[in-house]
Amino acid sequence: MPGYAIAQYTIHDPETYAKYPSSVAPTLSQYGGKLLVADHDCKVLEGNPYQVTIVIEFESVETAQRWYDSPEYRKIMHLRTSSTEGWILIAPQFVIPQG
């Protein structure tokens, strides 16, 4: 069952953050991550979201966790964490209960 890495953050250091997208792409490919959403201007209907919304699909929650914990991602993760404020989580695909 697919697992998703979902993140929202606001960029406060654009110069450092600019290095992140091209650095993270190879790590996603290596772990089979498929970028579904990468938006800097979502239409907000309720609440106070952060500036950037990201949704990445993986084969499973376990694969998403392996990507997040991988040495390849850990090596470049600071480009995001030092230049943004926000959160990231991993969640399984929702399956509607039958009956």
Per-residue model confidence as pLDDT tens digits over 1-38: 999 999 999 999 999 999 999 999 999 999 999 999 99
Domain CATH number, residue 10: 3.30.70.100
Q: Going by DSSP bridges, is the β-strand pair 52-58/3-11 parallel, antiparallel, or unpaired? A: antiparallel
- The model's confidence at residue 99, banded by pLDDT at 50, 70 and 90, is confident
Counted domains in the chain: 1
Do 61 and 6 form a contact (C-beta atoms < 8 A)? no
What domain range includes position 46?
3-92
Q: Evaluate whether residue 98 is within a structural domain.
A: no
Flag whether the pTM goes above 0.75. yes
Separation CA 49–CA 88 (nearest Å): 13
Per-residue model confidence as pLDDT tens digits over 64-90: 999 999 999 999 999 999 999 999 999
Q: Evaluate whether residue 97 is within a structural domain.
A: no
